[in-house]
Amino acid sequence: MWINLIIYFATFVIAVVAYFKWSFGYWKKQGVPYLPSSIPFGTMNNPFTLSEAIADEVFRQYMESKALGYKYVGLYGLTIPQFMVIDPQLIKNVLITDFQHFTDRGFYYNEMDDPLSAHLFSLAGQKWRRLRAKLTPTFTSAKMKTMSKFVVSCGYQLRDALAIRCAQGPIDIKDLLERYTTNVIGSCAFGIECNSFTDPNNDFCKYTKKQFLPTTFHNLKMFISFMFPSFAKMIRMKVITEEVTNFFMNTVRESVEIRKGTSEVRNDFLQILIELMKSERSDNNGDAITIEEVAAQAFLFFLAGFETSSSTMSFCLYELSQNQDVQQKVRDEIDAVLKKYDGEITYDALKEMEYMGCVINETLRKYPPVPVLNRKCVLDYQIPNTDVTIEKGINIVIPLIGLQRDPDYFDDPEKFDPDRFTKSNMEKMTQFSYMPFGEGNRICLGLRFGLMQTKIGLLLMLKNFKFSLSDKTQTPIQLNPICFVLSVKGGIWLNAEKISEAK
């Protein structure tokens, strides 16, 4: 009996090893250069040991491939082939020129069992095209202008909270800025006042933390949904817990019902979605946007605006704390522009703060909140001037963190230099070497809002406070391997000194 068990086990192990080795031969058969892989994780790190942040891993793979002269390289996530694009011209083909071959991201979504996951970022094919056509007019400059007053109001709350915190010692700046972005998203996407500075335990803050709390179980679900989206859908796995789903769905439904009963119109993101839903229903449009879709897009607004903007502002202040001359130059620009507008923070005033825009762009270059762009090949694609065909179903990886820290495109890439993004210097920049919001038809629709939210937060902090690095910040900083979005292990701790003449 034991001999039989040993034989069965040995046969099983041999079969598994043979399967992995056969799978790892895919790119060789396709004529694509590839990085060495190992059983069982392929070219990726063991996701359960958390030895290296995703951004660090992607950067390492990019630089290794670039050093070998590759324009593209084959990778494996477990046994799943992935195609990393190194060459900016080929990146242009994927994102724009030959977009019809790469329309989808290949991400998990499940409208029935996980309704909040069915948002614009993850949707594929015709469902994505339909919704994008409806939502594209949502984020025009005119719409941003009307929403800016809500963001400014939240910005003043941030300023007042910082005035209290700065007297209490070093500040965990990411925590403070997450409260600011929570207030902004709560106000603009859900029409509620969160008051996260004064009431950090309110329901909106509580469920926000639950969604972003990086537990082992949550990370496992994210890993499965990312690597095996079809399997995740088949087993009806919920990436967003039922508790969080119910809270956000009910919040949207209640806000919609409240607005039905009043003549007052609040010009925010939720109102735009409500008007879209009403206009399509009045036209007897059988393809009208549903309340579930409204909730999913509001939830996406929350996901995108909460983490990415707070991360960008945190890294920006980290760099400004070490570059006091740059910090003062931004502050001088803020004062000069606001003087022209009698101290009022308007959308037009924000647009005039060009140097602040350069500072934000340089922050996004060095610290892109999401280190990679993902696409999925939906039609076989032959790479121009080669015999290589990317087959339908292959996942495409575009390594933003590698491109944006590549010394071939950015001199001394570790240096924080906002002057890279002056108009004259941007004209010389290699196309598709800098794209923190993506490019092409799947570029982030909310980029205007994200930049506005970031500018207003930085404006009100830098106008009123001088920042320096606290000894509590571990330098050089290390990225947190448990987070997909760029985050610092141990946090970013800053000292904030109130500027006496601030109003």
Instruction: State how far the Cα of 347 lies from the Cα of 139, in Å rounded to an integer.
Output: 14
Structure token digits, residue 411: 């001199």
Which residues, 6+ apart, have CB-to-CB distance to 247 below 8 Å? 203, 207
- Using the predicted structure, report yes or no on whether residue 503 has a pLDDT greater than 70: no
* Whole-Å CA distances, 475 to 67, 136, 271, 365, 479: 28, 42, 44, 20, 11
CATH of the domain spanning 2-498: 1.10.630.10
DSSP 27-86: HHHHT--B---BTTTBTS--TTTT-S-HHHHHHHHHHHHHHTT-SEEEEEETTEEEEEE-
Asked whether 371 and 436 are in contact (CB, 8 A), the reply is no
**Stretch among 150-154, 274-278, 340-344 having the lowest mean pLDDT:** 274-278
**Residue 406: pLDDT band with limits 50, 70, 90:** very high
Average pLDDT for residues 93-108, to the nearest whole number? Answer: 96
Is there a contact between 219 and 213 (Cβ–Cβ < 8 Å)? Answer: no
CA-nearest of 459, 451, 501, 453 to 159 is: 459
Q: What is the pLDDT of residues 18-68, one digit of tens each?
A: 888 888 899 999 999 999 999 988 898 887 777 788 999 999 999 999 999
130-144, 346-360, 369-383: least confidently modelled range: 130-144
- Decide which of 262 and 378 is more confident: 378
Encoding tokens for residue 223?
Answer: 């890993």
- Which pLDDT score is estimated for 141? 85
Q: Is the overall model pTM greater than 0.75, yes or no?
A: yes
Among all chains, which residue has been given the structure tokens 């041999």?
Answer: 14
Phi-psi region of 397 (alpha: psi -120 to 50; beta: other; left: phi over 0): beta
* Count of other CB atoms within 10 angstroms of residue 131: 18
306 token code pair: 């909460």
What proportion of the chain, given as a percentage, has pLDDT over 70?
A: 96
CA distance 316 to 329: 14
Q: For residues 327-356, give the mean pLDDT.
A: 97
Tracing tokens 């892989």 back to the chain, one arrives at 37
Q: When comparing pLDDT for 80 and 138, which is higher?
A: 80
Average pLDDT over residues 145-161: 94
Backbone angles phi, psi at 376, to 5 degrees: -125, 135
What does pLDDT average to over the chain? 90
Residues 411-450: tens digit of each pLDDT: 999 999 999 999 999 999 999 999 999 999 999 988 999 9
Give me the amino acid identity at 195. N
Mean pLDDT of 282-294: 71
Cis peptide before 170 (omega within 30 of 0): no
Residue 286, pLDDT score: 57
Q: Which of 72-86, 226-240, 408-422 has the lowest mean pLDDT?
A: 226-240
Q: Would the annotation count 316 as a binding residue? A: no
Give me the pLDDT at residue 73, please: 98
Tell me the C-alpha distance between 152 and 150, whole Å: 5
Query: Average pLDDT for residues 366-389, to the nearest whole number?
Result: 96
Domain boundaries, the chain: 2-498
pLDDT score for 214: 65
Q: How far is CA 107 from each of CA 79, 170, 230, 285, 395, rounded to the nearest angstrom?
A: 18, 39, 9, 28, 10
Residue 35 CB: number of other CB atoms within 10 A? 18
Rounded Cα gap, residues 75 and 326, in angstroms: 40
